[in-house]
């Protein structure tokens, strides 16, 4: 794939000669490359991504959302970096070559992403940035966004898909996963947690895991919210929930060290404070009351999704080995059980 990148880059409105490219092996969905261009003495960095069209069936709609939100934020003098795609010479934000769709972003310099949180300052800063992002978008018409993945955070439907996978999945995997399957059956009652709640429809990010925030390498500040493919109308409870899921455990979702998968209360408090401060008082009383339920539902949903993918033979998430989705599901069950004991 790397050898094709120079030709693809030539079609975007950027200056310079191709110098280098390297895959960025973070994220489960898209194929991401850091590319370097040389212009005289200067080098400039970009992020070139092949959009996963198995998952995002309408890439033009994805890019339409991202560009509209980006321009809206810039107009409102949003205080952090805005991830805006670079246009092709055909003045499109996405380039179709054969069956693949490509997009290009500036590489945000001197930044780093983490797969787990090490300090309460990081938890506060990242949660503040996600809260602030939602707050700045409070007057953007959420219904004008394309729904890039229908039913993305429909936990009931995720449960139904899990049930179907237990019946029709790969036989030997079902046996191996039986204990985890039974646990998820047991936690079915969680589906009722926010049933019937009158929650405001907001522009939500829907994938607020810790590696979707760029931190400044020097100051540690949260510089930029990234991975905007799932910007959609929704409830913020899942945004908060995915922060609980990914900011609070000492180890990330791939860890098989299950005894060390638990909610660190200090991280939970820091992220909750950061999120509320970032939202600048715009959380409704009901949203505030249901935040922790959002955490439970999001972790439960993620366990269902990983286990469903395991049972179906790893059709969705990138995996490094055959057992990885099962490990991830077990990891999420441990985290869920820990959250159920702290609240
Ligand atoms: P995925 O949907 O596969 O998770 P992401 O858009 O999150 O893809 O990108 C994967 C990783 O690439 C991010 O976690 C981050 O480390 C890095 N990355 C993405 N965009 C940028 C950018 N504009 N500048 C710097 N790093 C980036
Ligand atoms: C995927 O794209 P990435 O790696 O940030 C997934 C999320 C999951 C997450 C689990 C579009 O996020 O929903 O929570 O993996 N994104 C999509 O790590 O399905
Ligand atoms: Mg990502």
**Per-residue pLDDT tens digits for 79-112:** 999 999 999 999 999 999 999 999 999 999 999 9
Q: Is 343's pLDDT higher than 80? A: no
Tokens of 328: 């991830």
Atom of ligand 2 nearest to the CA of 29: 2
Q: Is 195's pLDDT higher than 90? A: yes
Q: pLDDT tens digit string along 104-148?
A: 999 999 999 999 999 999 999 999 999 999 999 999 999 999 999
CB 30 near ligand 1, within 6 Å:
yes
Q: Is 156's pLDDT higher than 80? A: yes
Q: Is 170's pLDDT higher than 90? A: no
Across residues 171-199, what is the average pLDDT? 96
CATH class for the domain made up of 2-108:
alpha beta
Ligand 1 centroid – CA 188 distance (Å): 33
Ligand 1 centroid – CA 89 distance (Å): 23
Tokens of 317: 């998430």
Q: pLDDT tens digit string along 32-75?
A: 999 999 999 999 999 999 999 999 999 999 999 999 999 999 99
Q: pLDDT tens digit string along 275-301?
A: 999 999 999 999 999 999 999 999 999
Distance CA(312)–CA(134), nearest Å, equals: 34
Given a contact cutoff of 8 angstroms between Cβ atoms, the answer to whether 152 and 206 are in contact is yes
Atom of ligand 2 nearest to the CA of 28: 4
Measured from the alpha carbon of residue 24, the closest ligand is 1
Q: pLDDT tens digit string along 214-231?
A: 999 999 999 999 999 999
Residue 199 — very low, low, confident or very high, per pLDDT cuts 50/70/90?
very high
Q: pLDDT tens digit string along 9-30?
A: 999 999 999 999 999 999 889 9
Domain boundaries, the chain: 2-108, 120-342
Tokens of 96: 């179709």
Ligand 1 centroid – CA 31 distance (Å): 10
pLDDT > 90 fraction of the chain, expressed in percent and rounded: 96
CB 309 near ligand 2, within 6 Å:
no
Distance CA(335)–CA(331), nearest Å, equals: 6
Mean pLDDT of the chain: 96
CB 53 near ligand 2, within 6 Å:
no
| Residue 189, Cβ density class (10 Å: 0-12 exposed, 13-18 middle, ≥19 buried) | exposed
- pLDDT for position 342: 87
Category of 201 on φ-ψ map: left (φ > 0), alpha (ψ -120 to 50) or beta: beta
CATH topology of domain 120-342: Aminoglycoside 3'-phosphotransferase; Chain: A, domain 2 (3.90.1200)
Ligand 1 centroid – CA 157 distance (Å): 28
Measured from the alpha carbon of residue 228, the closest ligand is 1
Residue with CA at minimum distance from ligand 1 atom 6: 227
How many other C-beta atoms can be found within 10 angstroms of the C-beta atom of residue 185?
12
- pLDDT for position 169: 84
Atom of ligand 2 nearest to the CA of 316: 19
Q: Is 3's pLDDT higher than 90? A: no
């Amino acid at each position: 794939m790397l050898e094709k990148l120079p030709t693809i880059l030539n079609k975007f409105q950027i200056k310079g000669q191709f110098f280098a490219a390297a895959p960025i092996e973070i994220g489960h969905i898209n194929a991401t490359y850091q590319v370097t261009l040389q212009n005289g003495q200067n080098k400039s960095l970009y992020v070139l991504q092949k959009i996963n069209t198995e998952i995002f069936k309408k890439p033009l709609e994805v890019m339409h959302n991202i560009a509209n939100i980006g321009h809206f934020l810039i107009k409102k003098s949003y205080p952090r970096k805005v991830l805006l795609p670079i246009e092709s010479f055909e003045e499109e934000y996405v380039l179709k070559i054969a069956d693949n769709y490509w997009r290009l972003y500036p590489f945000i310099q001197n930044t780093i992403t983490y797969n787990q949180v090490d300090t309460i300052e990081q938890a506060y800063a990242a949660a503040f940035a996600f809260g602030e992002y939602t707050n700045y978008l409070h007057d953007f018409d959420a219904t004008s966004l394309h729904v890039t993945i229908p039913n993305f955070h429909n936990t009931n439907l995720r449960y139904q898909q899990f049930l179907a996978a237990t019946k029709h999945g790969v036989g030997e995997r079902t046996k191996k996963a039986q204990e985890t399957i039974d646990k998820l059956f047991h936690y079915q009652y969680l589906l009722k947690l926010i049933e019937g709640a009158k929650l405001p429809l907001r522009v939500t990010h829907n994938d607020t895991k810790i590696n979707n925030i760029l931190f400044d390498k020097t100051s540690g500040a949260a510089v930029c919210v990234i991975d905007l493919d799932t910007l959609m109308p929704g409830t913020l409870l899942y945004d908060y929930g995915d922060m609980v899921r990914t900011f609070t455990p000492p180890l990330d979702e791939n860890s098989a060290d299950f005894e060390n998968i638990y909610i660190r209360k200090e991280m939970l408090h820091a992220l909750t404070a950061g999120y509320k401060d970032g939202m600048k008082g715009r959380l409704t009383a009901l949203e505030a009351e249901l935040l922790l339920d959002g955490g439970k539902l999001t972790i439960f949903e993620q366990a269902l999704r990983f286990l469903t993918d395991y049972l179906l033979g790893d059709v969705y998430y990138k995996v490094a080995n055959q057992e990885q989705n099962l490990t991830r599901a077990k990891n999420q069950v441990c985290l869920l059980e820990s959250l159920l004991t702290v609240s």
